Structure 1
Amino acid sequence: MFLLRVVLPDRPGSLGALATALGKADADIVGVDVVEQRGDGRAVDDILVQLPPGKMADALVTACNSVEGAQVEFVRFYPSRGGLQRDLQAVEAMTADPTHAEAVLVQLSPNVFRADWAILLEARDEGDSRPRLLDRSPAAPEEIDDVSTPWLPLTRPIRLPDPAEWAPSLAQSTTAAVMTSGDRVLILGRRGGPEFLDSELARLGHLVALARAIGAGAA
């Protein structure tokens, strides 16, 4: 299973042409998600595909490049258990368990945002730059002793700087963060990329606000 992030001309037929090209490469399309519609006449799509044994990811890039105007931004291996989970599904899951809405979001946000892991941290008292690990998704780092939070406090979701500067154990990851409540911060990580888009940061902020509201309503 592979995840492709492709920039396409935002016009009728582009996605169909891409699907045809991928089919010729023996790729089985499992899911498609329009991540962002840019103001320059292009759209960013995440496409989850499955390749038969013996086929390499290079075949996917070659197929995409055969479509006029298509540009592959990223291709990466994706766990076979993964899917393209939508924001609404996360909201429904949080609503079904409102007292644990924040914890539900920690577990679901990696799939929603095609990330590898999520962690929920709490900043300690002033003078101690090391945060406390409150929750983590599967595949998230278990130890965060080397993590500091020089970028706190946050007023909006942001792309974090290179983790090598504040969390060596998270090196090689592209990260984004948003405050959940008080001194709590949710961090998402993608090992090796791609970078979080502005539209993804906006969605992340929206889901965190909903988790906060759902949890408050259950209190």
Structure 2
Amino acid sequence: MLLLRVELPNVPGSLGRLASAIGAAGGDIESIEIVEKRVDGTDVDDVLLDMVEGTMPDSVVSACNAVDGVKVLWISRYLAGGNLFPDLEVVESLTADPKIALDRVVEALPVAFRCEWAARVAVTENGFEIERASEGAPTSIDLKPDSGLARQTIGDDLVAIAPLGQARVVAIGRRGGPEFLDSELARLGHLVGLAASIARAT
């Protein structure tokens, strides 16, 4: 599976032309999700696709970039279960057992945001202490002080951070890209805040 992030005009027919180009280049679309709607009249979409055997990802990128107004922002392998993971499924996993909602959100975020890792981090007098981390998370996390939603860089990882309260944050990381969009930062804040509310209610 490949995950393709594209920018395209928000006009009738754009998605159809993109899908035709992907199909002609040997890609088979499994699902499409709008990641961000921009004020300039463009959308950013994540496209999950499979490739015909022997077809190279570069051919799909070239075919997409040849469509008027379309720009490929990112393409990478996608191994997380072969489908996109909507926020509703994250919420369902949090409410299934509210007592462990703060652990569940850390487990669910890497799939929901198509990133490599997530971690719940406590801010202490001695630095940052990882309380809970998904597979693939770094063994230590050194964040810059920030009181709200933020983007940072740790080594090769692009990181998005949401406050959890009580001197804790949740961080998610992507190795090499793509950058976290404003809409993704807002979604992260919403899901982390929801997890905190569910946990407090128990």
TM-score of the superposition, structure 2-length normalised? 0.95
Runs of 4+ in structure 1 deviating by more than 4 angstroms, as ranges, are none
Q: 1:103 to 1:45 in 2, by over 3 A?
A: same
Partner of 1:74: 74
Q: Distance in 1 between matches of 2:52 and 2:196?
A: 43
Alignment of 1:59-138 (within 5 A): 59-79=59-79, 81-124=81-124, 126=125, 128-129=126-127, 131-138=128-135
CA 1:59–1:177: 2 relative to 1, 3 Å: same
Q: Deviations over 1:110-145 (max 9, x none)?
A: 111111111111122x2x12x21111112222x21x
How far apart, CA to CA, are the structure 1 residues paired with 2:156 and 2:106? 21
Note the residue ranges of structure 1 that are not aligned, 5 or more in a row.
Answer: 164-170
Structure 1 residues 153, 42: CA separation in 2 closer, same or farther (over 3 Å shift)? Answer: closer
Aligned mate of 1:193, from 177, 183, 196: 177
For residue 123 of structure 1, give the secondary structure of its aligned residue in structure 2. Answer: strand
- Seq. identity, %: 43
Counterpart of 2:201 in 1: which secondary structure? Answer: helix
Alignment partner of 1:209 out of 182, 193, 196: 193
CA distance in 2, matches of 1:80, 1:38: 27
Q: Secondary structure at the match of 2:160?
A: strand
Q: Residue 148 of structure 1 corresponds to which residue in structure 2?
A: 142
| Whole-Å separation in 2 of the counterparts to 1:217 and 1:193 | 36
Residue segments in structure 2 that go unaligned for 5+ positions in a row: none
Could you tell me which amino acid in structure 2 is paired with residue 45 of structure 1? D
Structure number with the higher strand fraction is 2
1:40 & 1:212 partners in 2: Cα distance? 34
**Equivalences for residues 171-190 of structure 1 within 5 A:** 171-190=155-174
Is this contact kept in 2: 1:6–1:46, CA < 8 A? Answer: yes
The code of the aligned residue for 1:67 comes to V
Matches within 5 A, 1:3-42: 3-42=3-42
Structure 1 vs Structure 2 CA RMSD: 1.3
8 Å Cα contact 2:80-2:111 kept in structure 1: no
Aligned to 2:51: 51
